[in-house]
Amino acid sequence: MRLTLKIFRYDPNTSAGPHYDRFQVEADPNDRVLDLLEAVRGDQDDTLSFRRSCAHGVCGSDAMRINGLNALACKVLVKDLNSDTIQIEPLLGLRVEKDLIVDMEPFFAHYRSILPYLINDEPLPEDGKERLQSEAERERFDDTTKCILCAACTTSCPSFWADGQTIGPAAIVNAHRFIFDSRDRGRLKRLKILAGQAGVWRCRTAFNCTEACPRDIHITRAIAEVKQEILKHS
Amino acid sequence: MAHLKTPLQGYLGYRGREGQTAFLLHRISGIGTALFLTIHILDTALVYFYPGLYEEAIGIYRTTLFGIAELFLVFLVIYHGINGLRIAGFDLFVPQRWNIPTARGSFRLTLILTLLLWLPAAAVMLYNLLHHNFGLFGG
Ligand code: FES
């Protein structure tokens, strides 16, 4: 099948401002959008810029807006889009560096702000080096361990669009992963950060994050659980 | 103004599902209600400060345009209330039930409930409008 790709272009080194370029490509219904981008870059325009690495939905580097919806280009099949024209744009709310590449630093700054690492200064258990955990305790935060930091959720969040200061769903998901980890002792610190102005109360339950997550994490639920945890400790 | 561009682009261009619609309607209904309340407080204050103008203000409310706007206003107020209860209910009592099917379904239910509560009120208001402004039903 023949498809038209309408791709957002921006190059800060040329005088042409942000605009869209159209490319005709021959595609198989089972092709992924990433395959089409590679085809354009390989055969038609080698200046087209986008991030990719694993091509299998693991690294999280190719999140973008495909037909108006955040997704990983390597996970979206052409046949699931049901259209002859595919519009591809960079994530919304982060500064565009070139074409489909955005500056991810503000996103990672929010991620770092919630202390995304195990905090526990207590001495190790005497009988070994591991802090043991029951299956149920591990299960408690299993869902939020799946995040690959692609930013599809945070850049689909209306509160983040309104104000890049909002900590955003991805950072809250990663905080949830430690807040509900029985081995961790940093819970109160993180709850304090998330109770702040830019934290969980900015969630308007618009559900764009949960709908966009390529790992099917129950994001809005995780945020609501953190809200409850804050209420319990206040 | 530059910082308005991204949210507007998102509100209008992002293909969100029921949740985004619920959010946008909640925003619009919230702003609409707040605006109406402001006007309402101001015109009621006229009774005290300029009683003569108060009559004129009430006259404006009786115009057809305002009558139609009030019909929508009632819809927005009811929606804002029910949707607020929906979100608070999930967040406060059953956060573990927030998932895509419950979010989509509960929004549709919210719309149905809003319509059911709105229709009788709308019928009465429409009757009054047609009665007083268009002389129908023996008006
Ligand atoms: S390229 Fe790694 S997630 Fe898509």
B1 falls within a domain: no
The answer to whether position B79 is within a domain reads: yes
Chain-chain contact of B98 with A65 (C-beta, under 8 angstroms)? no
Residue numbers of the domain that contains B61: 19-134
- What crossing angle do the helices spanning B100-134 and B64-93 adopt, rounded to 10°? 160
> Structural domain boundaries of chain A?
2-102, 105-233
CB-CB under 8 Å, B23 with A204: yes
pTM, to two decimals: 0.93
| SS3 state of residue A26 | strand
From the list B10, B26, B98, which residue is nearest A224 (CB)?
A: B98
Please answer whether residues A115 and A189 qualify as being in contact, where contact means their C-beta atoms are separated by less than 8 angstroms: yes
Chain B closest-CA separation from residue A187 CA (Å): 19
H helices within chain A, ranges in order?
33-43, 78-81, 105-113, 135-139, 158-162, 168-179, 187-194, 208-212, 219-232
Helix, strand and coil content of chain A, in percent to the nearest 5, comes to: 35, 15, 50
pLDDT at B108 over 70: yes
pLDDT at A73: 98
Which element (helix H / strand E) includes B40? helix B18-49
CA-A150 nearest atom, ligand 1: 3
Q: What is the mean pLDDT of chain B?
A: 92
Q: Which atom of ligand 1 is nearest to the CA of A52?
A: 1
CATH number of the domain residue B75 falls in: 1.20.1300.10
**Exposed, middle or buried by CB within 10 Å (0-12, 13-18, 19+), for B22?**
buried
Q: Is the CB of residue A60 below 6 angstroms from any atom belonging to ligand 1?
A: yes
| Phi, psi of B138, rounded to the nearest 5 degrees | 70, 25
Give the count of beta carbons closer than 10 Å to the beta carbon of residue A36: 23
**Cα–ligand 1 centroid distance for A150 (angstroms):** 9
3-class SS at A149? coil
Atom of ligand 1 nearest to the CA of A75: 4
pLDDT at B12 over 80: yes
Q: Is residue B9 part of a domain?
A: no
Inform me whether the C-beta atom of residue A61 falls under 8 Å from chain B C-beta atoms: no
**In which residue are the tokens 């573990």 written?**
B96
pLDDT for B134:
86
- CA dihedral defined by B6, B8, B13, B17, rounded to 10 degrees? 110
Closest Cα in chain B to A162? B7
Token pair recorded at residue A22: 């159209």
Alpha-carbon dihedral sign for residues A119, A121, A122, A123: positive
Q: Would the CB of A72 count as within 6 Å of ligand 1?
A: yes
Arithmetic mean of pLDDT, B79-99: 97
Tell me if A205 and B9 make a contact (CB, 8 A cut-off). Answer: no
In a domain, B8, yes or no: no
For the Cβ of A55 lying below 6 angstroms from any atom of ligand 1, the answer is: yes
Structural domains of chain B, count: 1
pLDDT confidence band for B53 (50 / 70 / 90): confident
| Under 8 Å between Cβ of B33 and B77 | yes
Chain A interface test: which of B98, B104, B107 (most A C-beta within 10 Å): B98
pLDDT of residue B2: 53
Amino acid at A128: G
| Among the partner residues B17, B22, B91, nearest to A224 by beta-carbon distance | B91
pLDDT averaged per 10 residues in sequence order, chain A, 234 residues: 97 94 97 98 98 97 98 98 97 97 98 97 86 96 98 98 94 98 97 96 97 98 97 90
* Cβ pair B100:A210 closer than 8 A: yes
Q: What is the enclosing helix (H) or strand (E) of A8?
A: strand A2-9
**Portion of chain B with pLDDT greater than 90, in percent:** 66
- Say if the Cβ atoms of B10 and A68 lie within 8 Å: no
With a cut of 60, say whether residue B61 has pLDDT above it: yes
- Structural domain includes residue B49: yes
Note whether residue B2 is domain-resident. Answer: no
Domain contains B6: no
Whether B4 is in a domain gets the answer no
Q: What is the mean pLDDT of residues B13-34?
A: 96
| The three-state (H, E, C) secondary structure of B62-126, written as one string | CCHHHHHHHHHHHHHHHHHHHHHHHHHHHHHHCHHHCCHHHHHHHHHHHHHHHHHHHHHHHHHHH
Task: Residue B89: list chain A partners with CB under 8 A.
Answer: none
Which CATH fold topology does A105-233 show? Fumarate Reductase Iron-sulfur Protein; Chain B, domain 2 (1.10.1060)
3-state secondary structure at position A129: coil
Does any ligand 1 atom lie closer than 6 A to the CB of residue A220?
no
Predicted pLDDT at A107: 98
Q: How far apart are CA A212 and CA A219, in angstroms?
A: 10
A92-129 burial string, b = 16+ CB within 10 Å, else e?
bbbebebbbbbebebbeebbebbbbeeeeeeeeeeeee
Per-residue pLDDT, B1:
47
What's the N-to-C CA distance of chain B in angstroms?
A: 49
Could you tell me how many CB contacts below 8 A there are between chain A and chain B?
87
CATH number assigned to the domain covering A2-102: 3.10.20.30
> A222 has which bridge partners?
none
Question: Would you state the pLDDT for residue B139?
Answer: 62
